[in-house]
Amino acid sequence: MLRLRGERGASAVEFALVVPLLLVLLLGIVEFGRVFNAQLQLTSAARESVRVLAIQKQRDPAISTAKLAAPNLNPALADSNILIPATPCSGTPDATVTITYSVSLISGLFVKTIPLQAKAVMRCGG
């Protein structure tokens, strides 16, 4: 195939135009995976915590269970992230645990953090 003199740098220019778009796409995929993983851990932690709360009717074991159920969160869950009513299972037949957490993004291109929330409700018993 015969190339014209002016077409020698065309592939380099096309590559330079496409690479930033591909890198942004790759970074978006990585960020989505991190946020989705954190949301799955929060959901699991809320579910395990409300299970303990519904059976034992005590806040401290439920808080420690929530922390242990989400071991890969960085930074780890703090007590202030876990919302449990002061008197669980009194006056209402259900126990409720709500966990809030903010995921810091690596790139910070559009937003710095994404707030996440997980809530679990279970009938009191035991």
Asked if residue 106 is part of any domain, the answer here is yes
Spatial contact of 46 and 99, defined as CB atoms under 8 Å apart: yes
**pLDDT number for residue 88:** 86
Asked if residue 114 is part of any domain, the answer here is yes
Asked if residue 2 is part of any domain, the answer here is no
**pLDDT number for residue 3:** 61
Domain interval for residue 70: 7-123
Asked if residue 1 is part of any domain, the answer here is no
**Considering its fold, how many domains does the chain have in total?**
1
Spatial contact of 63 and 49, defined as CB atoms under 8 Å apart: yes
**pLDDT number for residue 86:** 86
- pLDDT tens series, the chain, 126 aa: 566 666 778 888 888 999 999 999 999 999 999 999 999 999 999 999 999 999 999 999 999 999 999 999 999 999 999 999 888 888 889 999 999 999 999 888 789 999 999 999 999 985
Local structure of residue 4 (DSSP, 8 states): P
Asked if residue 105 is part of any domain, the answer here is yes
Rounded CA-CA distance 66/83 in Å is 11
**pLDDT number for residue 100:** 97
Spatial contact of 91 and 97, defined as CB atoms under 8 Å apart: no
